[in-house]
Amino acid sequence: MTKFINSTIAVSGASGQLGSRVIALLQQAGATKIVALTRDPGKLADLAKSGIEVRRASFDDEASLETALKGVERFLIISTDSVGVEGGRSSQHNRAIAAAERAGVKHVAYTSVTSPYPDPARIIPNDHYWTEVRLAASPLDWSILRNNVYADSLLQSGAHAVASGTLYHASGSNGRAYVTREDCAAAAAGALLKAEGKRIYDVSGPSAPNMDEVAATLAQVSGKPVKALNVPVEGLKAGLAAAGVPPIYVEVLALFDADTARGYFGIVTDAVTELAGRPPQSVAEVIEANKAALG
């Protein structure tokens, strides 16, 4: 069912990987009025040629957001890339929500994270938590899409694990319901086309394998021995830093493992099937489909 296929639908972050894919899926579904929001319309010249209306909007400029949202009925807020700036993301998201309220938007979908919680020292869950609080207080209808960790991220770490024989992690024995970016995009497009009311969706893969299981899959697909090794969080950080990972992402990746060890990322639901009309890909399917990337 695509009840809102003829509604005016706006997607933020339209030049990014997730936003551009959501727009493509909306087009494939037959959505008739799509608005692409971006800080730099010049980046979307090709999209404009395809019939998509491109509007300039900056999450640091609330007036530009309000102007860009005029006439929009349904709006996808893709969480911004201001990771590591204290309060940066949540402030930007709050501006977008306020602008949507004033512009007359009826429904906002927002890409959050699984199990957000308030803790200023943990920037990812903290920013998402406070954005969700702001959205819940809004008179707007909304869909909160709590996306689990991208399964796509396993391809890079998996390649290193296949090469070394060891998959280092700090997530203990708990599993993580990895979900692909493609499935997140499909769920977001589905929410824009049919979701109503106020609802939280935990967007997950079909299961939550732990790292021993991921390592076994890597070994099976690659034909090389791979074992998972659980290390202390600080040891994981040191290894990531030594591998050249930027400091902010060292913290983010370590946090994801620490929160997995707490059981926060093991939530499995049928949200992708409900919103996208098809089941999500499993970790095993993703690794098998990308076997060449493992080296």
Query: Mind giving me the DSSP string for 154-199?
Result: HHHHHHHHHHHSEEEE--TT-----B-HHHHHHHHHHHHHH--SEE
- Amino acid identity for residue 254 in this structure: A
Name the CA radius of gyration of the chain, rounded.
19
Asked whether 203 and 272 are in contact (CB, 8 A), the reply is yes
Beta bridge partners of 56: 38
Reading the chain (295 residues) residue by residue, the pLDDT tens digits are 689 999 999 999 999 999 999 999 999 999 999 999 999 999 999 999 888 999 999 999 999 999 999 999 999 999 998 776 665 789 999 999 999 999 999 999 999 999 999 998 898 999 999 999 999 999 999 999 999 999 999 999 999 999 999 999 999 999 999 999 999 999 999 999 999 999 999 999 999 999 999 999 999 999 999 999 999 999 999 999 998 999 989 999 999 999 999 999 999 999 999 999 999 999 999 999 999 999 8
pLDDT of residue 88: 78
Q: Show the domains of the chain with their CATH numbers.
A: 8-147 (3.40.50.720), 149-179+205-265+280-295 (3.90.25.10)
Q: Strand, helix or coil at 60? A: coil
